A and B are shown apart, each in its own frame.
Chain A
Amino acid sequence: MLLSLFMQNHILLLDGGTGTLLQAAGLKSGESPETWVISHPDQIRRMHLSYYQAGSHVVCTDTFGANLLHFEESELRKIIPGAVRLAREAAACADPSLPRFVALDIGPTGQLLKPYGDLDFEKAVEIFKTSIRLGLEEGPDLIFIETMNDSYETKAALLAARECTDLPVFVSNAYGSDAKLMTGADPEAMTVMLEGMGAAAIGTNCSLGPDALRPVVSRYLEASSLPVLLKPNAGLPRVENGKTVYDVSPEAFAASVADMVRQGVRIVGGCCGTTPAYISALSGCLQGLEPVPLAEKNRTVVSGTSHAVYFGGKPVLIGERINPTGKKRFKQALQEHDMDYILREGISQQDAGADMLDVNVGLPGLDEAAVLEETVCELQAVSDLPLQLDTSDPEAMGRALRRYNGKALINSVSGKKESMEAVFPLQKKYGGVIICLTLDENGIPATAQGRLAVAKKILQEAARYGISPKDLIFDPLAMTVSSSPDAASVTLEAMRLIREETGCCTSLGVSNISFGLPQRDGINSTFFTLALQNGLSGAIMNPHSFDMMRTYHAFLALSGMDDHCMQYIAYTADHAPQAAAPLQAQAADREKNIAEQGSELQKAIEKGLREQAGRLAHDMLASCEPLSLISEHIVPALNAVGIRFEQKTLFLPQLLMSAEAAGAAFEVIRGAMQSTTGPVHGPFVLATVQGDIHDIGKNIVRLLLESYGFPVIDLGKDVPPENVLQAVLENHAGMCGLSALMTTTVPAMEDTIRLVHEKAPFCRVIVGGAVLTQSYADTIGADYYAADAMACVRIAQQLDAEKA
């Protein structure tokens, strides 16, 4: 019988624990259960059979850890097909009155993915594919991805399965007692991501007993349109009279799980500590229970690394600042690959109250696909907000969606045939909600009815790809009101019509409306009010705009979405418009001569006062050349703190704070320079070596080098030798700094030094890191050893002076 048919009107009963039974049969601590497929096949077959006889419809193969990180491929070739065969043989022996299915079991790799670990996403996908393909040789009925405690690895496993087979894929995650995965995702975030990628069933296993998992299960049932599965532990283990016992009995376990079946769970079994006795008890409790019918939840939802964001309730604020359009400084950051600047734009918008971030890094001459992919990965490392991927390049969209951790908002598709053909397949494969622009080959319709017609066309076409209306958000396009007087009213009318006739959510790029007008925030925030009043679900806007944010909070208060206006009160208290400084004080400031201001700037840097340093630099630029500002005020201040640090009278963090204050002054000066004058010093390539994932020391070196005026090309952590060489060659960098924390990564450092010396003999290599010493550095062929970040600056200055 087909699994999908059986599931339509039956509760599906899975098996119980594997480790528990095998340990009882003699599996030793630290021994891999998978090896027993080869060494003890009879025991494995007997275990499967005992579960079938206890009432399991499905048993999971003994392949939890059978992957390339734990075994050689030649071993996997024996283990995985063998494991599926053993389950099949057990099914053939079982009482034939029940259908018997075999699930190919896929557990986590045990390694953490980048950026927190060093396992590359695509490599993880390949590892899972290898295991899955081997399992498919023996024809399992489904793939069971289980005990995943990282959302990103879960995505890699599901993607691998979906790219190998059309079999149903069940995905089960392991939650902590805080109802989050180890890497932070909650049940709603997992639900939307996995639904979007085509899982057949989702849920939770392991970690806790059935009662402790109840809150997680309820959240799944509330969020999921798919069948929900539950495979809990037999409670918590403890040692009693020298024996490992679990605190939930088979009867209590079965009663608790059956109760959740009454709430709507449709697939059940047991994990650690459960045995055929538990499954048998559960099978008894399930007699006569009908599955609760599935309900399509029909919500428009996206997710980031930790949580989901819903459209259609409280309006969703999408920060628009990560976008080079009309922003000189942002363009410069993109060209210089200044990822910190881009990420700070993201973090500051999150802090300002954005619910999501738009990400647009398209710039002529830039490899947009590569930059978008990298930016998305870097942003997700520092912000848990869902992202809106904003590109018209399908290759860039495809690559970013593949790497995205969660369910993204895709910006955008239009009613043009070419656009829909390019983007809908990507959405179908990777999941996502999509922004649909109501324009087509004939341009933007002038009337609201015309835009509604385009929307309907897009809905129809999306349905052909199997994309549900809930995953479409319509943007009725705000045009510039200064060039067409009815721009706002047509847009608002189109929005209302689309909502009423399609039931779909809407969004707008609010700021477009005011192009060419003075005091744009005035127009924007009023238009925003009107749009909200007409049911706008999401707005792409600037969360740093006081007018816009005040409008938003006022709207929530007025429309009953802000209890007792508490949020409005909190917002206005934090963001009261600043009273202008008294005129006299301003005049007094202006009268200060440049020398006085200069000494204040030096003091601000020495004390590590970032804001003050930036403000003083800004004021001084009115009457002082940028370069003399640097050489006469900033550098002397830095030298003063540097020397105190070297004399050990200054605490390292104070040196860092001074460098940050100098950085704030540089940032101001940089913004003021008409064009970037050629670098004063030679470029410095900096990296943490391959295999090493610690970057705190490297970041400190970078901060100090930059504050001393060295342009730094920071390659990040875990950098292969070839990439270091490539950066040295491309920038003709005379200096290269390498960092390694542990003895195990020093060989990678040695390889890098050898490669750089061989292919780029003009480059001097400076090394540093916890395990290194001068003699160790000499042994591995480094040109210089820097004991700390300040020492590295001194070496760079010395090299620079020699070159000049």
Chain B
Amino acid sequence: MIQVFAPTRLPPVDMREVLRYAGDRGQEPSTDRIKALMPEALEHIRGQVCFDIFPLGEVTPEAVDLGFTVVSSRSLSSLLADSAFAVVFGATLGLAYDRFTARTSRLSPADAWFLHALGTERIEALCDQFEEELRRQGHVLTRRFSPGYGDVPLALQKDLFRVLDCSRKIGLTLNASLLMSPSKSVTALMGVLDQGALDLHGAERGGCQSCSKTDCAFREENRNNR
């Protein structure tokens, strides 16, 4: 089942990261301008993540069966080699941020560039926050991997959008060139190394209720009874 994670607030802004995305290569530039922009810019951010979890099929060194599609990618195979499940997610800062950036670019391309850098830092922070939330729930995760990384085909985007219903869930869309709108968005997948992932994914895939060992301490109804 597709779920939505929409935190009321994002983690604090990491200014060093913002400057790095803006092109700082050790010049230690002034942050006055970006600090002046930030309060209004942050008001235009509405971070949302939609995600689902899938039991992995066969993982060979060349390809991974994600359940909804088979991906030919050595790097993804090695990432998911020890995982039983994959979390697939789409994250976005929302369209208001694009609007604000478009408006700002008409007034000051320099400010727009700072917003671009801030937005990049923020979307990564949202992804980190989402991962953190899953970890807090006790899941052991691999690092995240996006279509276009390494040898993971960008065309995988189409499949991710299909199974995540991103446009309906969080207003994230994909165009024919495989570009995402709103522009400050990320799609990615992560391997889940633990069995607790059963809690996250839907009944249609079986789950531990189907097991005959009814007195198991990890059986979900037993855990819930405690």
Contact = CB atoms under 8 A, between A and B. Distances in A.
Interface of A: 23, 29-30, 108, 110-112, 115-119, 147, 149-150, 174, 176-178, 182-184, 206, 237-239, 241-244, 340, 343-344, 347, 381-384, 608, 648-654, 656-657, 659-660, 691-696, 699-700, 702-703, 741-745, 748
A652 B162 CA distance: 38
Contacts of B67: 29
Contact of B171 (A182, A654, A694): A182
Given A383-B103, A653-B22, A693-B175, A239 B109 contact: no
A344 B105 CA distance: 10
B162 A30 contact: yes
A691 B175 contact: yes
For the complex of A and B, 9 pairs with smallest distance between CB atoms: A242-B207, A182-B171, A691-B177, A656-B110, A652-B23, A651-B29, A243-B203, A30-B163, A382-B103
B175 A30 contact: no
Given A651-B27, A652-B23, A693-B179, A23 B204 contact: yes
B178 A742 contact: yes
B9 interface: no
A787 to B, nearest CB: 13
Nearest to A657: B110
B107 interface: yes
A340 B106 contact: yes
Given A174-B168, A242-B207, A693 B107 contact: no
Interface residues of B, number: 68
A177 B170 CA distance: 12
B195 interface: no
Interface stretch (B74-82, B91-99, B128-136): B91-99
Given A241-B224, A741-B179, A657 B33 contact: yes
Interface string B34-55: 0000000000001000001010
B223 to A, nearest CB: 10
Nearest to B92: A182
A117 B110 contact: no
Given A116-B99, A347-B103, A651 B202 contact: no
B128 to A, nearest CB: 22
Contacts of A691: 175-177, 179
Interface in B126-183: 148, 154, 159, 161-163, 167-168, 170-171, 173-179, 181-183
Interface of B: 1, 3, 6, 19, 22-25, 27, 29, 33, 46, 52, 54, 67-68, 94-96, 98-99, 101-103, 105-110, 112-114, 116, 148, 154, 159, 161-163, 167-168, 170-171, 173-179, 181-183, 198-204, 206-209, 220-221, 224
Given A174-B168, A238-B3, 20 more contacts: A29-B163, A108-B168, A116-B98, A184-B96, A241-B203, A242-B199, A242-B202, A340-B106, A347-B103, A347-B106, A381-B99, A381-B103, A382-B99, A651-B25, A653-B110, A660-B108, A694-B183, A696-B101, A696-B113, A699-B105
A446 B159 CA distance: 70
A696 B105 contact: yes
Contact of A745 (B3, B179, B220): B179
A742 B154 contact: yes
A239 B102 CA distance: 39
Contacts of B175: 111-112, 117-119, 691, 693
B172 to A, nearest CB: 9
A744 B154 contact: yes
Contact of B203 (A116, A119, A244, A694): A244
Nearest to A305: B99
